[in-house]
Amino acid sequence: MKFIDEARIEVHAGSGGNGVATFRREKYVPRGGPNGGDGGRGGSVIAVADRNINTLVDYRYARIHRARNGENGRGADCYGKGAEDIELRMPAGTLIRDRATGELLADLSVHGQKVVLAQGGKGGLGNLHFKSSVNRAPRQFTRGEPGESRELALEVRVLADVGLLGLPNAGKSTFIRAVSSARPKVADYPFTTLNPSLGVVRLGHDASFVIADIPGLIEGAAEGAGLGHRFLRHLARTRLLLHVIDIVPPDPGADPVRDARAIAKELKNYDAALYRKPRWLVFNKIDAAPDASERVRRMVRALRWKGPHFMVSALSGQGCPEVCRAAARFLLAERARGAKVAA
């Protein structure tokens, strides 16, 4: 299925049914009095987060969603039937914004979470409600309220604990294949990955985390070079970034140090908050260089890097378990810190 992470839709809730003014007319019952019922409630439009859905492709083609109107009231104290709500199932991680104002209406981050996008109108009152000791034959009734209508912008941001970033062909897809059951496409040409991939890294029976791979970045992505930087939004929810660096780039004239700085610059240009996230360097393809340790030492010194860094071969799996264990410990400490703050 094609991965669609943006869509625009219209939602229209149903209007409430009208109340009615009627009177009881029955043989041998003079002055039967008012018996007009109320109108039914209009249907609402509700968004539901569903972890079994990972794309907005359904909303790319079905853009208008309408709930039914409530039924009008009837005589003999009969109320109109309320309309059923309609539920729009969306991927967990969907952001819903009002297109007119840009206001964030909902962040569907938890499976099963429900948010009312457009509230159905209330039904009108029948003349049954207007009778009194001084108004025994009321002819008043009210009409149903109109339902809400909105134009919405939907945007999916994948839910992952760890995100991978780096140049095309740095080995990100190979790394996620090595540490999880995800099977993104791997080939020897740039921009093999065109859509984000998610994988679950399992470390024993009770330890696991979700890792995300996004299409590669290149210098100038903020200006639209390559695939641009719009896929960086999928790293916004992560707690840790793994910057994968190819120590043996296929281009002999490439400079891994300069390229690493360019990736950091693209992060900063896109979102300062994303740039400030914890980021570790993962030097890949150490099996392809006999002097891998010396190369990595020179790169770390040239980058003036003070944070954690690792040496791996995503192809053979060498060093990958150590990265995953370190990431799991980091995430566990982050969750504990978050729980302590919340308490």
Query: Does the pLDDT of residue 92 top 70, yes or no?
Result: yes
- The rounded distance, in Å, linking the Cα atoms of 20 and 131 is 13
Phi, psi of 23 (to 5 degrees): -130, 150
Amino acid at 264: A
CA distances from 16 to 72, 85, 122, 302 (A): 8, 13, 5, 68
Strand partners, 210: 200
Strands 104-108 and 94-98: antiparallel
Question: How many percent of the chain have pLDDT more than 90?
Answer: 43
- The rounded distance, in Å, linking the Cα atoms of 238 and 228 is 20
**CATH of span 162-342:** 3.40.50.300
Every domain of the chain with CATH number 2.70.210.12 lies at 6-156
pTM score, whole prediction? 0.73
pLDDT tens figures, 300-309: 999 999 989 9
| The pLDDT value given to residue 193 | 54
Q: Are 111 and 50 in contact (CB under 8 A)?
A: yes
With a CB cutoff of 8 Å and minimum separation 6, the contacts of 73 are 17, 18, 19, 20, 36, 37, 38, 39, 40, 79, 80, 123, 124, 126, 141
pLDDT tens figures, 181-197: 877 666 554 445 556 77
Query: Does the pLDDT of residue 1 top 60, yes or no?
Result: no
H runs (alpha helix) in 45-116 = 57-61
| The pLDDT value given to residue 289 | 83
H runs (alpha helix) in the chain = 57-61, 172-179, 256-270, 272-275, 292-303, 320-342
CA distances from 3 to 7, 84, 193, 195, 212 (A): 11, 31, 12, 7, 14
- Output 169 or 81, whichever has higher pLDDT: 81
Every domain of the chain with CATH number 3.40.50.300 lies at 162-342
Q: Which CATH number fits domain 6-156: 3.30.565.10, 2.70.210.12, 1.10.10.60, 2.60.40.10?
A: 2.70.210.12
Question: What ranges make up the beta strands (E) of 99-134?
Answer: 104-108, 114-118
224 pLDDT band, cuts 50/70/90, is very low
- The rounded distance, in Å, linking the Cα atoms of 244 and 312 is 10
